[in-house]
């Protein structure tokens, strides 16, 4: 069976549980999800307790990631 979102690209800028969870569901359905990470630290979920870090690893499955500082001209050229 073909993935329903195959060929769809999603850029994820979220960093709290609901956003990454949604991105995970889209990736599970075949979308190419690219997570944009903050260079000064990961998502808020990675900064908390061990349990939340495990959730972060789960929520990021099937995604690609890139670290960009969107306030930097050089990084904006890559975006």
Write the pLDDT tens digit of every residue in 8-39.
999 998 877 788 899 999 999 999 999 998 88
pLDDT score recorded for residue 69: 83
Spatial neighbors of 62 by CB under 8 A, at least 6 apart, are 24, 27, 28, 33
pLDDT score recorded for residue 67: 87
Kindly list the domain boundaries of the chain, sorted by start residue.
9-70
């Amino acid at each position: 069976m073909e993935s329903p979102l195959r060929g769809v690209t999603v850029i994820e800028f979220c960093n709290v549980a609901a956003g990454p969870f949604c991105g995970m569901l889209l990736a599970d359905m075949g979308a190419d999800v690219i997570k944009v990470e903050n260079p000064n630290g990961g998502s808020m979920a990675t900064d908390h307790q061990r349990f939340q870090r495990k959730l972060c690893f789960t929520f990021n499955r099937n995604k690609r990631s890139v670290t960009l500082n969107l306030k930097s001209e050089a990084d904006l050229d890559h975006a």
